[in-house]
Amino acid sequence: MSMGKPVITTERECCHGAVDHGENGCLVPIYDSLALESGMEMLTFDEDNMSDFSAHSRHKAVAELEESITIDQALFEMGILGAS
């Protein structure tokens, strides 16, 4: 995501937060190879989608995964840092 690449991932709890389906990639059901194939085709053969998804991925990575944000969030979760 930080490199501006679209993402295809499964709808598992630990993975789905990285992708806003239809914005920066595709969420596919676990073990659904046809949905995976469809997502791959959409990103591979639709250059407009690829460009849009890439831009959204980079924006999401910067907005949500910036180092200072994630460090503060982790410290807060551990009870080391108070609410800001």
Q: DSSP string spanning 2-68?
A: TTS--EEEES-TTTGGG--BTTTEEEE-TT-HHHHHHHHHHHHH-HHHHHHHHHHHHHHHHHHH-HH
Structure tokens at 66: 């910036």
Q: Give me the phi and psi of 10, to 5 degrees please.
A: -85, 165
DSSP 84: -
Residues 10-42 have pLDDT tens digits of 888 766 677 888 788 889 999 999 999 998 988
What's the pLDDT at 38? 92
Residue-level pLDDT at 56:
81
Q: What is the pTM of this model?
A: 0.61
Mean pLDDT of 63-74: 76
Do residues 43 and 28 make contact, with C-beta atoms less than 8 angstroms apart?
Answer: no
Residues 39/30, Cβ–Cβ less than 8 Å: no
